[in-house]
Structure 1
Amino acid sequence: MRLHVEYSTDYAFTQPQRRLVQLLRMTPVNFAAQHVIDWHIDVDCDARLRPSRDGYGNEITMLYITGPIDRIALKVSGEVLTDDRSGLVEDAPEPLPVEVFLRETNLSAADDAIRAFAADIANSEKDPLSRMHLLMSRILNEIRYVPTLDAVERNAATAFASNTGVCQDHAHIFCAAARSMGIPARYISGHLYRRDGAHIQEASHAWAEAHLPAIGWTGFDPANGISPDDAYIRVACGLDYLEAAPVAGQRLGGGEETLTVDVRVTQAQNQAQN
């Protein structure tokens, strides 16, 4: 599928800022299931953009702005050609050993409840792939998806205890449970083309990947109960949300900050016409 992405992030500050430095994880990488045809990052002010790659293999862009400035409009757009590989992640940049993804973080640590949840799944299925599919379906059925819930940085244990969550919560719970079973897992941020016609979204999407024997890295989306197909654009990976979030940074200046995000994922014009 040929997908078109328009991603706008608008910042407004109650006081002028003297300096801003941001790390942008907004550019997809090429691998077997996706090929980036065209991609642009534009800023509506005088800014320096420096592309590079981080330790996880993600494409990153450092953004530097010298003020005074009281608002910023950041626009990302591009086209990606995707293929349905049943969630398999092949030929992606993999600079780290898989054992790194057994590490817990504050957001993805398993508590006693999650460990018991994972142990029950491990006792039910011996095959690692079947375990991960069961884990995905159990999270889908037991952690009610609430897409408007504004809590993307709460930890897995809190979300699991509440039985509700956004896609970020589902990904954290999946990683916590998989790692407690001894299966490396990582958090993924990206975009999802909605086949139901809901092309305008309030944020990027999130899911998880697990490293399975003889298969390698494979994606699982507990929020939708499927492995990623050609409707998914994979952008960044990390141990948790903070390590794969689209934007992270610091500012020098007082006052409050407001953020507005608008994401549109559609089929490219030529494909839609065909």
Structure 2
Amino acid sequence: MRCEIRHTTEYHYPKPAWDSFNQVRLHPIQEVRQTLRSFHLNVTPEAEVTSHKDYFGAIVHHVHVHEPHTHLLIEAQALVDTHPVTLPLPAPMSVLRGVRSQHTEFLVPSPRVPAGPWPELFGVARPGPDDDLPAFLMSLTTTLYRMFTYDPKATTVSTPLAEFAQLKRGVCQDFTHAMLGITRQLGVPARYVSGYLYSGGEMLGAEATHAWVECLIPGYGWLGYDPTNNCLAGEKHIKIGHGREYSDVSPVRGTYYGGGQGKLDVAVHVYGEQ
């Protein structure tokens, strides 16, 4: 599937701001499941733009606007071809024993996914060593989809996981953190994925950057699960990058001097064709 992405981030300030520095993670990653055809980052006013690869391999752009300004526009345009997902063969949960030590960064607690009895808190039965790992992960995806209600007004980017567990309402970030908490407590290496979603109108979370989980299946690799939409991450999912949690892959964040209380507007448009 060919996907054309346009992501605009606009800041409006009541007073001039200067030395605005933004860290931008909007560059889709190149991997087996997708091919990056082109990427362009446009900034108004004129800015100093540099880039580097972060610890997890994603390309990060640094946007520095020196001059005073009351309006900042960061626009990312990308063209990506996504490819069908091949399904893994059945594998018992016990196959994880030999790989956990190699992926501890995706098993240990993090600020937004702290340690806790998440399987019990979310009512998820712990699988046995002979239970099928891919089947369990798909079942867990379905369980979380049915348990929670997608509600963009219920939470913010700083809502703790424990609070979401009580609310049972939130956005893709919350669904993803919940699944990370459960899988990591069960010894399944799992990472947070930031990206885009082409919905065609029938999937949740396409109005902004989307989030889902990638779990490690030994002998296969990393497979994406989207608990917000109860599906595998397939051709309609465009990946930007991954990390331990949202903080590792937040799309745009930065600082500036002056300006007063700024207003932020974000728009995401994903166009696709088979």
Q: Do structure 1's residue 99 and structure 2's residue 93 form an aligned pair? A: no
Question: Where does 1:238-257 land on structure 2 (aligned, <5 Å)?
Answer: 238-253=243-258, 255-257=260-262
Change (3 A) 1:184 1:118: farther
What is the letter of the counterpart of residue 259 of structure 1? Answer: L
Unaligned residue ranges in structure 2 (runs of 5+): 89-101
Shift of 1:266: 0.6
Change (3 A) 1:163 1:141: same
SS at match of 1:37: strand
Shift of 1:114: 4.3
Q: Do structure 1's residue 145 and structure 2's residue 155 form an aligned pair? A: no
Shift of 1:157: 1.7
1:259 aligned partner: 264
Q: Do structure 1's residue 222 and structure 2's residue 249 form an aligned pair? A: no
Aligned mates of 1:17, 1:87 — CA distance in 2: 50
Shift of 1:197: 7.1
Aligned mates of 2:175, 2:20 — CA distance in 1: 31
Q: Do structure 1's residue 30 and structure 2's residue 30 form an aligned pair? A: yes
Shift of 1:245: 0.9
Question: Where does 1:193-208 land on structure 2 (aligned, <5 Å)?
Answer: 193-196=198-201, 201-208=206-213
Number of aligned residues? 262
Aligned mates of 1:250, 1:138 — CA distance in 2: 39
Aligned mates of 2:224, 2:50 — CA distance in 1: 30
Shift of 1:58: 0.7
Aligned mates of 2:145, 2:205 — CA distance in 1: 23
Q: Is the Cα contact below 8 Å between 1:121 and 1:134 reproduced in 2?
A: no
Q: Which string of whole-angstrom CA distances, capped at 9 and with x for unpartnered residues, describes residues 68-91 of structure 1?
A: 111101111121011011588xxx
Question: Where does 1:12-91 land on structure 2 (aligned, <5 Å)?
Answer: 12-86=12-86
Q: Which string of whole-angstrom CA distances, capped at 9 and with x for unpartnered residues, describes residues 180-221 of structure 1?
A: 001111111100111237899541111111112222211000
Change (3 A) 1:121 1:202: same
Question: Where does 1:98-117 land on structure 2 (aligned, <5 Å)?
Answer: 98-117=103-122
Taking structure 1 as the reference length, the TM-score comes to 0.88
Q: Which string of whole-angstrom CA distances, capped at 9 and with x for unpartnered residues, describes residues 197-248 of structure 1?
A: 7899541111111112222211000000001111110001111111111112
What is the letter of the counterpart of residue 3 of structure 1? Answer: C
Aligned mates of 1:154, 1:111 — CA distance in 2: 16
Shift of 1:119: 5.5
Report the more deviating stretch, 151-160 or 76-85.
Answer: 151-160
Shift of 1:148: 4.4
1:93 aligned partner: none
Report the more deviating stretch, 152-161 or 200-209.
Answer: 200-209
Misfit runs of 4+, over 4 Å: 113-116, 197-201
Aligned mates of 2:229, 2:205 — CA distance in 1: 17
Change (3 A) 1:207 1:201: closer
Q: Is the Cα contact below 8 Å between 2:107 and 2:188 reproduced in 1?
A: yes
Change (3 A) 1:263 1:198: farther
Unaligned residue ranges in structure 1 (runs of 5+): 89-96
Q: Is the Cα contact below 8 Å between 1:22 and 1:63 reproduced in 2?
A: yes
RMSD: 2.4
What is the letter of the counterpart of residue 32 of structure 2? Answer: A
Report the more deviating stretch, 145-154 or 51-60.
Answer: 145-154
What is the letter of the counterpart of residue 217 of structure 2? Answer: L
Taking structure 2 as the reference length, the TM-score comes to 0.88
The counterpart of 1:233, out of the listed 226, 238, 249, is 238
Q: Do structure 1's residue 154 and structure 2's residue 159 form an aligned pair? A: yes
1:10 aligned partner: 10
